[in-house]
Amino acid sequence: MTTAVLHESGAGAGAGSGTGAEAPTGEWSIWPASTTRLAHGAVAVGGVPLTEVADRFDTPAYVLDEGEVRSRCRSYRAAFPEADVLYAAKAFLSRAMVRWVQEEGLGLDVCSAGELELAVTAGFPPGQIVLHGNAKSPRDIEAALRLGVGRIVIDSASEIARIAAALGPRERQKVMLRVVPGISAGGHDKIRTGTDGQKFGLSLTDGGAQHAVARILGQPQLELTGLHCHIGSQITEVKPYLVALRRMVGLMARIRDAHGVVLPELDMGGGHGIGYRPGEPTLDLTALARRMRAELRDSCAAAGLAVPRLAVEPGRAVAGPAGVAVYRVLAVKHTGGCVFVAVDGGMSDNPRPALYGVRYAPRLIGRRSTAAPRTTTVVGRHCEAGDILAADVELPGDVHPGDLLAVPVSGAYQLSMASGYNLVGRPAVVAVHEGRARLLVRRETLEDFRNRDIGG
């Protein structure tokens, strides 16, 4: 079978899609760079036809391009050679993902004992892990201290005493403080975390951050290494990061003046935006790195501070464009002037459209259609009117049950947010690389549900 490379003259995804101010034009621009078109309408990712994935592993399935993940990790290491780059595990985590991230030289940030213990048991060095969370459970703190995480990010005043009390008399734990800089940035109200009036961090505006700093410095078992700031998610402009960085440096200068302490670290979080549909803007990674370095240098010089070590925490920007979701069409319905294409997954494996109103660009794969395009809404199989995967998208007019649909940019915040709704079962995750497909996470089965349900 002959193949033709889809990404021509700058239309490749790969690491490049994270470094341009706008996504390349063309319907294939948002797909992994390894994507190729095969005969009869088939599509391959990582050298593996997606129809083969569907046949071998069933549907729905999440296909993760290992090469794309590694390429994006390398792009971050190249853009921030002097900084710590931590992969945000909440986007997607598996043992294979842990290994890829570690081999590419990234650290890890986790938000629970579950994420932490999976990473450590998969061989990730705990000293290169940062634990986040606005409401850390006793188990989270116990696991972090027992395993020896590199940093715990304190998110509320109550955590200061809790962490200190959990340490032995001769133990010390490095901590950071999450600060809310008062900046609104992000693709939706529900993912804007840099403003006052939301659940994360301690505010600059009301003095909560400054008070927490004094309390941490008063705990001999806690070593305050720096400040942490995460202003939101799906941010596509550089400016909000620069404003936040300037405010963080200002607070570091005030801490020096008030306490005589110069903090050596500054973590500016992640939230780096990607394009989910062709032509959507993405965060310019190269510009972000260059301008953050310049702002950090200039702000510190103006404040008379030594330049702290910078850290960033990409998650979506690493995993998102590396994933493709594959669904099988179950039904096509014409009603009220609308066309609904129902697939064998939905909000149980991707709740993001229902949560945030996000939009995707699904594509028919596995056969070549000559039918005229038709405005279609792709829906899931669940008992909710809001179970919509892609509203008002153009698909061939002859889509029918049994067809396969592929949804690119599906590697982040889909399976990691999946649920057991209707006991459908969470999909499998299949890695593709250099012509080989292998199962990373098996499909959830009825037996799994039965084994958990021990009542009677």
Which domains can be identified in the chain, with CATH numbers? 4-65+324-451 (2.40.37.10), 66-319 (3.20.20.10)
- Which residue, among 120, 189, 177, has the nearest Cα to 148 in the 3D structure? 120
CA atoms 251, 253, 256, 261: torsion sign: positive
pLDDT above 50 for 196? yes
What is the set of active-site residues?
383
pLDDT of residue 423: 94
Structure confidence by residue, pLDDT tens digits, 200-254? 789 888 889 999 999 999 999 999 999 999 998 899 999 999 999 999 999 999 9
Distance from C-alpha of 104 to C-alpha of 69, rounded to nearest angstrom: 10
Residue appearing with tokens 């809001």? 386
pLDDT of residue 357: 84
Give the 3-state DSSP-derived string for the chain, with helices as H, strands as E and coil as C: CCCEECCCCCCCCCHHHHCCCECCCCCCCCCCCCCEECHHHCEEECCEEHHHHHHHHCCCEEEEEHHHHHHHHHHHHHHCCCCEEEEECCCCCCHHHHHHHHHCCCEEEECCHHHHHHHHHCCCCHHHEEECCCCCCHHHHHHHHHHCCCEEEECCHHHHHHHHHHCCCCCCEEEEEEEECCCCCCCCHHHECCCCCCCCCEECCCCHHHHHHHHHHCCCCEEEEEEECCCECCECCCHHHHHHHHHHHHHHHHHHHHHCCCCCEEECCCCECCCCCCCCECCCHHHHHHHHHHHHHHHHHHHCCCCCEEEECCCHHHHHHHEEEEEEEEEEEEECCEEEEEECCCCCCCCHHHHHCCCCCCEEECCCCCCCEEEEEEECCCCCCCCEEEEEEEEECCCCCCCEEEEECCCCCCHHHCCCHHHCCCCEEEEEECCEEEEEECCCCHHHHHHHCCCC
Residue 344 phi/psi, 5-degree rounding, is -85, 15
pLDDT above 60 for 328? yes
Structure confidence by residue, pLDDT tens digits, 373-417? 999 999 999 999 899 999 999 999 999 999 999 999 999 999 999
Mean pLDDT taken over the chain: 91
pLDDT of residue 22: 35
CA atoms 160, 166, 167, 168: torsion sign: positive
The verdict on whether omega for the bond into residue 60 sits within 30 degrees of 0, i.e. cis, is yes
Q: How far is CA 205 from CA 195, 251, 384, 388, in A?
A: 10, 11, 41, 39
Structure confidence by residue, pLDDT tens digits, 264-313? 999 999 999 999 999 999 999 999 999 999 999 999 999 999 999 999 99
pLDDT above 60 for 7? no
pLDDT of residue 27: 87
Question: What is the pLDDT averaged over residues 364-378?
Answer: 96
The answer to whether 40 and 56 have CB atoms below 8 angstroms apart is no
